[in-house]
Amino acid sequence: MLDRRRTLKLLAGGAIATTGMMFIPADPVIADIRRQGKKRLAMVIDLGRCNGCKACVVSCGIENGNLPDEHRTQVPQHSVDLNGKQYVFNLPLLCNNCDKPSCVSVCPTGATFKREQDGIVVVDSQLCIGCNYCIQACPYDGVRFTHSATGTVDKCNFCIQRTSRGLLPACVETCTGGARVFGDINDPESEVSRLIRQHRPLVLQAGKQTSPNVFYIGLTQDESNRANSINSPQTWQR
Amino acid sequence: MSEVHWGLLVAAYLFLAGAGAGALFISGALVLSEKVAHAHHWSTAKFSAIAGLLLLMLGTGMIVFDLTSFQYGIFNGDMSKLLRFYRLFMTFEPSSMMSIGTWLLTLAIIFALLFCFSFKRHDQETFTSRGYALINLILAVCVASYTALLIGDIKHNIVWSNSILVVIFLVSAISSGAAVVLIVKTWLKQSDPHHHFAKADSMVMLIELFVLGIFVYVIANVSKFYGLDNLLGMATSAGKIWWLGAVVVGLLLPLLLNLTSIMGRVGVSHAKEYGIAALTLVGAFCLRYSVLLAGQSY
Ligand code: SF4
Ligand code: SF4
């Protein structure tokens, strides 16, 4: 969704690119717009603090009216091999509300779009026809799903109904380990900005080029490259 | 990827759109080559165009049936959800291949309709629908390519983003279109004493076998690179449908039946022609279904 001013800027970028016979990506223009005071909401998850209690999964389901088997966020347990011994860690998963979301451009009705004011990727359930094209296009398996009670696609939108009023997303509010931190990356004073500066956290599957806005402290490079699914079977049960 | 979000209905969509486009392509080519001066070619072109149009319409119906909002509307008696599919036809999102394809299909159906009507308006001698034939020919190529580009646009999918799929779906659309034309010819009781049709059909099948071979090779290598079992191996359901349905039933058997007639210099019986056409169509469906499954199985 482009407004007139932004479209003109992008077109100007394209014109310069054509004249100079070189490719100028739209990113700097978008980054420039962001510098003009727009928010970029993001979440930092500290894996060292996640105890796998799943309070976030429950509160998210209640807040957003999801059915018991359909999750906007889930905390699958993953096993890792360290010095020949197996360990388990909890990996909270949700839609990354990416900066370059691959789900947006494919949507044939414009139901999925990225909000300019805060960067959240939303699905307008009044417009969604349920073609599942966005589900196919998202490289993060299971973060988009069909909500059985509406027949349309659903996903995490950082609890837009709460965050638009300055409240925290339900999962962040209820996180018992304090593992989930939420805020505006464009605000250098925010907690998320500080954590990102301090820990240089990784995102999941950076190679898919969607520029996720969910960052993980404590994730190794190898683990970050794995294709995890919200629907992974729970192999480690207490 | 674990869940199959695009299954039989989407496979039917891709298959019917491809077969319809193929039939319209051959019909248009017959008109442009002026073969329609012969009565039997005129009838073949006319009925193939009608069959192509019906297949395109049926194919478009399949994508509507697959929409979860439509299914929700049916099962819950919710009319607003049931009718919401109109948004697919009323919105144009140039960045979405599905949106482009829906408009393309709608355009192809409109022009196919005009093409069919032109057969009604003109008799065989004064037939002047070359313009419509050309437009149909171009739209048929676009629609057949679209069926591959729709899934090819999922860039992170290691099976679907393979560009040779465009060639495969194009060739397969021509061979399934030829199967539709063969059904039309057989229904019109036209025989092929010099095996012209069988030879052309076999040539297309050989080309298809060649491109399928390249695809199999690439997928085997890609699977290995990502540390996966061969996504088109016989151990997977996609692989079984691919090898038994698309390759054996859809290509090898019809090719064998065609070749035995050509080499034995015997006329092809109508029953055999119906058989060849049916096998080809089943194979074309299996081809698309197995590609869809393979892309959602890792
Ligand atoms: S994680 Fe997937 S669904 Fe979420 S914004 Fe990124 S591409 Fe879209
Ligand atoms: S399922 Fe809905 S949100 Fe997703 S691409 Fe289709 S119309 Fe857009």
How far is it, in rounded angstroms, from Cα B298 to Cα B295? 7
Structure confidence by residue, pLDDT tens digits, A62-119: 999 999 899 999 999 887 777 888 888 899 999 999 999 999 999 999 999 999 999 9
Whether the pLDDT of residue A27 is over 70: the answer is: no
Q: Which of A41, A99, A102, A113 has most ligand 1 atoms within 8 Å of its beta carbon, as the pocket-test mutant?
A: A102
Question: pTM here?
Answer: 0.89
Which residues from chain B sit within 8 angstroms of residue A211, using beta carbons? Answer: none
What's the ipTM?
A: 0.93
CA of B105 to the centre of ligand 1 (A): 28
Quote the pLDDT of residue A7.
Answer: 40
Structure confidence by residue, pLDDT tens digits, B197-249: 999 999 999 999 999 999 999 999 999 999 999 999 999 999 999 999 999 99
Token pair 């149909």 in the structure block, residue: B136
Question: Mean pLDDT for chain A?
Answer: 85
Q: Token pair of B161, please?
A: 């983003």
Length of chain A: 238
Nearest Cα residue to B100 out of B111, B88, B112: B88
How far is it, in rounded angstroms, from Cα B191 to Cα B273? 10
User: Virtual CA dihedral for B158, B160, B161, B163, nearest 10 degrees?
Assistant: 120
Cα B114 → chain centroid: 21
Quote the pLDDT of residue A17.
Answer: 36
Cβ-defined contact of B93 to A110 (cutoff 8 Å): yes
CA of B214 to the centre of ligand 1 (A): 33
Structure confidence by residue, pLDDT tens digits, B147-195: 999 999 999 999 999 999 999 999 999 999 999 999 999 999 988 778 8
Q: Token pair of A204, please?
A: 């999941």
Query: Under a CB-based contact definition with an 8 Å cutoff, are residues A224 and A216 in contact?
Result: yes
Cβ-defined contact of B5 to A132 (cutoff 8 Å): yes
- Give Cβ neighbours of residue B79 (< 8 Å, ≥ 6 apart): B73
Whether the pLDDT of residue B127 is over 80: the answer is: no
Whether the pLDDT of residue B281 is over 80: the answer is: yes
HEC letters along B173-203? HHHHHHHHHHHHHHHCCCCCCCCHHHHHHHH
Quote the pLDDT of residue B263.
Answer: 87
Q: Token pair of B20, please?
A: 């319809």
Whether the pLDDT of residue A157 is over 50: the answer is: yes
> For the purposes of burial, counting CB atoms within 10 Å of the CB of B90, is it exposed (0-12), middle (13-18) or buried (19 or more)?
exposed
How far is it, in rounded angstroms, from Cα B35 to Cα B264? 27
Structure confidence by residue, pLDDT tens digits, B22-35: 999 999 999 998 78
CB-nearest partner of B87 from A127, A139, A208: A127
Q: Radius of gyration (Cα) for chain A, nearest Å?
A: 19
| Residue ranges per structural domain of chain A | 4-94+157-225
Structure confidence by residue, pLDDT tens digits, A195-233: 999 999 999 999 999 999 999 999 999 889 988 899 887
Quote the pLDDT of residue B269.
Answer: 83
CB-nearest partner of A109 from B63, B73, B87: B87
Domains of chain B: 8-295 (1.20.1630.10)
How far is it, in rounded angstroms, from Cα A8 to Cα B292? 39
Which of B9, B67, B68 to mutate to probe the A interface, most A CBs <10 Å?
Answer: B68
Instruction: Output b/e per residue, B21-48; b: 16+ Cβ within 10 A.
Output: bbbbbbbbbbbbeeebeeeebbbbbbbb
How far is it, in rounded angstroms, from Cα B298 to Cα B282? 25
How far is it, in rounded angstroms, from Cα A40 to Cα A188? 11
Nearest Cα residue to A72 out of A91, A92, A88: A92
Structure confidence by residue, pLDDT tens digits, B108-118: 999 999 999 98
> Does ligand 2 lie within 6 Å of residue A128's CB atom?
yes
> Does ligand 1 lie within 6 Å of residue A59's CB atom?
no
Cβ-defined contact of A109 to B88 (cutoff 8 Å): yes
Which of A74, A127, A131, A153 to mutate to probe the B interface, most B CBs <10 Å?
Answer: A131
Whether the pLDDT of residue A238 is over 90: the answer is: no
**Is A230 an interface residue toward B (CB < 8 Å)?**
no
Nearest Cα residue to B217 out of B203, B204, B231: B231
Quote the pLDDT of residue A84.
Answer: 85
How far is it, in rounded angstroms, from Cα B213 to Cα B234? 15
Which of A129, A135, A143, A145 to mutate to probe the B interface, most B CBs <10 Å?
Answer: A129
Structure confidence by residue, pLDDT tens digits, B39-98: 888 899 999 999 999 999 999 999 999 999 999 999 999 999 999 999 999 999 999 999
> What is the third-level CATH fold of A4-94+157-225?
Alpha-Beta Plaits (3.30.70)
Quote the pLDDT of residue B130.
Answer: 85
Cβ-defined contact of B6 to A152 (cutoff 8 Å): no
Nearest Cα residue to A2 out of A24, A29, A40: A29
